[in-house]
Amino acid sequence: MSVTLGHNQYGKAETRVVRVYRDSDPHEIVDYNVSVALSGDFEEIHRTGDNSNCLTTDATKNTVNAFAKEYSEAARQPESFGIALAKHFVDDTAPVTRARIKLEMYPWNRLSHDGTPHPHAFARDGGYVRTATVTYDGTNLWVVSGVQDYVVLKTTDSEFWGYLQDKYTTLKPTHDRVMATSVTGQWWHTDSEADWAKSYDSAVATMSSVFAGHHSLALQQTMFAMGEAMIAEQPEIGEVRFSLPNKHHFVIDLSPYGLENPNEVFHADDRPYGFIEGTIHNDLHKDAAPAPNQAFDPGQGW
């Protein structure tokens, strides 16, 4: 019986580093959750426990923390912070041939004091998490931006009817329903240099605007329209991937109590939920090589 070591990676996950920029007034703050995954010449670690090629996960954590100071400007945006880290691990550590940096960035809003913005007090903005994933193999660099936990809802302009009927189909068609989802989206940049803050804001604004204005016949259709518009506005985007749970809001039957319910009172259900996932490719970059599959997070790296 013989076995072979296949794909493997390791590193420190979820380093929670907060960087305060306090040499100017007002203070600024960035708040990250950084996960590092390294691949390379690690066969002996697995076979014999010989760690001579092993950069410790503790050192990868230290590097994240140190780079928040050393690469102070890069650390202001998750994409540029990830690029600095990924290049370091591959270029400066002999056994490492590939690095994957996954960053979650938690946004904060400035607090008010006596009616004016305060220079060093903040409240966490829990409305979404900004993400970036940077993958580097010594030659190729893939930068993927994203958003997660972005919960949106529209109270009308959503229909669902005309679907396939099988033995197990009992759903009633509707021409007016609440549509809600918690957006997890990722988009791959074919250009690895950009104004990341501006690009991110534009991408989220575009998907939000389309979600609001789209007259929906299916969540899939709205998802596709969102991706299409993001690509139209930023043509350097090569591909957009979405994972959209359909957060069901069921109309409650109030007739037993003598009440009408014309789409006014809903039960927000937990489980099960429809789950819609899809990829929208920009044809402009369809022949781009190498393919970005490994650049997306595993949960979206179909």
Regarding 276 and contact with a copy of itself (CB under 8 A), the answer is: yes
What character string, x for contact with a copy of itself (CB under 8 A) and - otherwise, covers 179-208?
Answer: --------------------------x--x
The answer to whether the annotation marks 220 as part of a ligand binding site is yes
Closest CA to 81 of 92, 69, 90: 69
CA 133 to chain centre: 8
In one letter, which amino acid is 155? T
Say whether residue 291 binds a copy of itself (CB under 8 A).
Answer: no
57 assigned binding-site residue: yes
- Among 77-85, 136-144, 151-159, 193-201, the segment contacting a copy of itself (CB under 8 A): 151-159
CB of residue 34 vs a copy of itself: minimum separation in angstroms? 8
Q: Does 42 bind a copy of itself (CB under 8 A)?
A: yes
- Rg of the Cα trace of the chain? 23
Chain centroid to CA 115? 34
Element holding 242 (H helix, E strand): strand 237-246
Element (H, E) at 60: helix 57-70
148 versus 192: smaller Cβ distance to a copy of itself: 148
Rounded Cα distance between 113 and 93, Å, is 48
How far does the chain reach from its first CA to its final CA, in angstroms?
A: 31
Positions in 157-176 near a copy of itself (CB under 8 A): 157, 159-164, 166-171
CB of 144 to a copy of itself, least distance (A): 15
Catalytic residue of the set 102, 189, 247, 248: 248
Give the shortest CB-191-to-a copy of itself separation in angstroms: 16
Residue 218 CB contacts under 8 Å (≥ 6 apart), including other chains: 160
Binding-site member from 91, 191, 201, 264 for a copy of itself (CB under 8 A):
264
Positions in 103-142 near a copy of itself (CB under 8 A): 108-109, 111-114, 118, 120-128
Would you count residue 288 as binding a copy of itself (CB under 8 A)?
Answer: no
Tell me, yes or no, if 88 is annotated catalytic: no
Min dist. Cβ of residue 143 to a copy of itself (A): 19
Residue type present at position 264 = E
Are 11 and 37 in contact by the 8 Å Cβ rule? The answer is: yes
Determine the length of the chain.
302
Cβ burial of 36 (10 Å; 0-12, 13-18, 19+) is buried
Task: Give, in order, the Cα–Cα distances in Å from 287 to each of 283, 284, 300.
Answer: 8, 8, 21
Binding track over 232-261 against a copy of itself, x by CB under 8 A: x--x---x-----xx--x--x-x-xx-xxx
Binding residues for urate: 57-58, 160, 177, 220, 246
Binding residues for 5-hydroxyisourate: 57, 220, 246
